[in-house]
Amino acid sequence: MSIEANVQELSGYFHVLGKRMKKMDHSDPVLCELISGQEAHVLHNVGSSGTMTMSEIAAAIGLSLSSATALVDKLEERKWVKRDRSEEDRRVVRVVLTGQGAKFYDLIEKMHLKLTRDILGTLDEAEQSQLLTLFRKIASQLDQP
Instruction: Per-residue pLDDT tens, the chain, 145 aa: give them.
Output: 788 888 888 888 887 877 776 665 555 544 555 678 788 889 999 999 999 999 999 999 999 999 999 999 999 999 999 999 878 888 888 999 999 999 888 988 888 888 889 889 999 999 999 999 998 998 888 877 6
Please provide the size of the chain in residues: 145
Starting at the edge strand found earlier in the chain, the sheet holding 52-53 runs 52-53, 93-97, 81-85
CATH classification of the domain holding 71: 1.10.10.10
Enclosing domain of residue 7: 1-31
| Per-residue confidence (pLDDT) for residue 145, from 0 to 100 | 66
Residue 32 has a pLDDT of 53
User: Is the same domain home to 25 and 40?
Assistant: no
* Residues 80 and 12 both lie in one domain: no
| 48 and 83 housed in the same domain | yes
pLDDT at residue 108, as a whole number:
80
pTM of the model as a whole? 0.70
Domain count along the chain: 2
The answer to whether residues 44 and 71 belong to one domain is: yes
The answer to whether residues 16 and 81 belong to one domain is no
Rounded Cα distance between 2 and 17, Å, is 23
